[in-house]
Amino acid sequence: MRGVLRIFRTPPAPTAVLEDGATCIPLALPADIFADYKRWNGKSVTVVGLVYSHGVTEGVISYELEGRTVIGSMCQSSFIVLFVTGVQAR
């Protein structure tokens, strides 16, 4: 999937989404991407990974997916979340 990577470093844990025009997909990013925040935030990227269902209810700020934090309060119209296994700058 391609788009702009948006990283949010706010409590309770850092989270991220991939945006491409009107599409917003929540991401479960690996820790090394958060650690190199300035390199990745706001950049056009291609991400690969495993697709999971993203069915959150109102009021859910974030949740865990295989030990990674996923944003719940954004991209509520998305039916998927991507467990990222690779990121490449475009």
Q: 34-76 pLDDT, tens per residue?
A: 999 999 999 999 999 999 998 776 777 788 999 999 988 788 7
Q: Give the pLDDT of residue 76.
A: 76
Single pTM value for the model = 0.90
Q: Indicate the residue type of 10.
A: T
Q: What's the full length of the chain, in residues?
A: 90
> 15: closest CA among 77, 71, 85?
71
Query: Rg for the chain (alpha carbons), in Å?
Result: 12
Measured in degrees and rounded to the nearest 5, phi and psi for residue 29 equal -90, 150
Total number of domains in the chain: 1
Q: Is 11 left (phi over 0), alpha (psi -120 to 50) or beta?
A: beta
**Full domain range(s) for residue 16:** 2-89
